[in-house]
Every structure is written in C-alpha cells, then in structure tokens.
Amino acid sequence: MLIHHKRVLISFIGLVAACATLAGCGEGPRQAGSAAIVGSDAVSLSTVQRQVDSVYAKPEVAQRVTQLGGTPADIAQLMVTRDVQHIVYGEAARRDGIVVDEAQVDAELNKPAVAAQLAGQFLIDQESKRDMVRDRIIAKALATKYFDRLIVTVDMVATATRQDAEATARRLAAGGAQADAVLATGDANTALRGLPLRAAAAPTLATEPIFGTPAGQVVASQSTTTGQWTVLRVTDRRFEGPPVTDPNLSAVSRLDDRSLEVIGRRLTQPLSEELGVRINPRYGAWDPVKLMVLPTDQATSMIVKTAGQNP
C-alpha cells in the first residue's frame, strides 16, 4: 500500500517538471556542495533543501504528503529528479534550436486542460509551474521533430532476476558467439533477434527505453509492475523513416499532449547519458534508464556498451 501511495505522490509532482535555481562555478561544480551535477551544471544542496522546506512549511500540504506515504527523503528525490531533467531539457533545447518565450508559457497556462492539471500539482509553486510548462513545451517540440522518423532495430531478452539480467547484458554486449547463444536459447516470448520497430507503429513503446537507447548499447531494466527484467541490445537507431501516410501508423499529429511529453522525455535519454548525471548519495542514485532519482538500492538499471563502442 505504501508503494502505491508513493506512486500517487509521484503523479502529483509530475516528473517532467523542473524549476530549481542552478548553481555552478568557473572551475566546474563540486559534488560536496551539490545535490546533483549534470555536465557542467549543478543543483545546490541549499536549493533542494529550500524546496523540501517549502512543502513542509504548509501544514495542509505536509499533511497530504504524509497521508500519501511520502517522507522528506521522497520529496527530495522528486525535487532532484525535476532539477536534473530541467538541465537536460535546457541543453536539448539549445542543441535543437528550440526557443520558448514567456508568451508561449502564458498561452499554455491559459488552456483549461493545463490549468486543471496544474491545479493538482500541490507541491509546486506558481513560478515552478511556469518552468514545468516550459519544459513540457520543449519535450513536445522534441517529440514533434523526431517521433515520425524514429526507427530502431533491437534484440530483446526477458529474464527473471537481476543476476540473470546482468549476465545476459554482458554476453549480448560481447557480441559474436556469446550473443548468438543468448538469443538462440529463448523462445519468442523470452528472446527476439533483430526486431525492427518504428515509433509511429508503436507509440506506446516510444515512451520506453527501446526507443531511447543509443545504437551500440545494451540496457537492462526491471519493470516496476511485474518485477521482470528486460535486456535490450540496440543495433540500429536512426531518424530516417519515410513520411507517415499509412493510416495504420500514428503520425505525431494524432498524439495527445501527454503522449508527446512522455515521448519527448524519453528522447532525452542519450543526452542525459552524454552529459553525465551524478547524484549526491544522500538523495539516492540516478537511474539512467528510468531517468529519475531513486533510493540507491532501487536504481538498478544497467547500461553496457557493446564491443567496439566508444567508452
């Protein structure tokens, strides 16, 4: 029941949001004074503490958090996740030439559906809501630009335990006879080789690591619902799909805003890895596949580079 309540709490926060004041210095951020470091940017310890304090300073909000099974540690993890994502979204916008001005943010905030949704974000102040909307606009812009053209080819293996998943991931990453043996031992329910997938043909999967993992990597991640481990080896990932004209495909124009936001967030997976995310151990650890801060013993996803990929 506690786990369920914490998931409800997470849904109120909105993990695609972000707002913190970011602290850096000329010599680069130092982990000792930072809650998180992303590339050359940092989130200060004082910023996260101030965010947590602001939640518990409001008795009605603190009571609701407690009723949902939340603790100050849970809130801090959510805040640091938001802050990390904000940095990544900002860099993604810079690289892709995405500019979000205040008028766009105002227009989005004035949409009845958005206003209704944000009304439930009881842990986020008004300015933070503007930053949340700004990041959502960036996420939707990324999805709009890339979704229709994204194609991947993957090998997939299902395993029951972390130990099996780790061993499978390393064998797939080694390639050659080791990988062949792994893929040959399963049936269609446990192992698939060379599966071509297009995001427009599988929009639900477009939110998953299968479409966010760079070519030349193997990732292993555990389902939060079934507990099963999935190991993926992405052999090809490109943005060269033909225009979506087939009525059986889901063109980006047919997706709702929420789908676009989540797909856009998944598209930042390679960038967050490239930038590098380091979390102060007091808050937990960064899960590079789930793209969030988790308690250290829960941040279990693994990334293994294949033979020949740059370290």
Domain boundaries, the chain: 2-145
Q: How far apart are CA 220 and CA 148, in angstroms?
A: 26
State the alpha helices, DSSP H only, in 110-242.
112-119, 126-146, 162-174, 176-185, 209-212
Q: What is the pLDDT of residue 309?
A: 60
194: left (phi over 0), alpha (psi -120 to 50) or beta: left
CB 171, CB 200: distance < 8 Å = no
The one-character DSSP state at 149 is G
Q: What is the pLDDT of residue 187?
A: 62
Q: How far apart are CA 42 and CA 278, in angstroms?
A: 9
The one-character DSSP state at 17 is -
Q: How far apart are CA 289 and CA 39, in angstroms?
A: 17
pTM over 0.95, yes/no: no
- pLDDT tens-digit series, residues 38-69: 999 999 999 999 889 988 888 888 888 888 88
Q: What is the pLDDT of residue 13?
A: 39
Chain-centre distance for alpha carbon 162? 21
Q: What is the pLDDT of residue 214?
A: 94
Q: How far apart are CA 188 and CA 176, in angstroms?
A: 21
Q: Tens digit of pLDDT per residue, the chain (311 long)?
A: 434 444 434 443 343 333 333 333 334 456 678 999 999 999 999 999 988 998 888 888 888 888 888 899 999 999 999 999 999 999 999 999 999 999 999 999 888 888 888 776 766 766 778 888 999 999 999 999 999 999 999 999 999 999 999 999 999 999 999 999 999 876 666 889 999 999 998 888 999 999 999 999 999 999 888 889 999 999 999 998 777 776 667 778 888 989 999 999 999 999 999 999 999 999 999 999 999 999 998 888 999 988 666 55
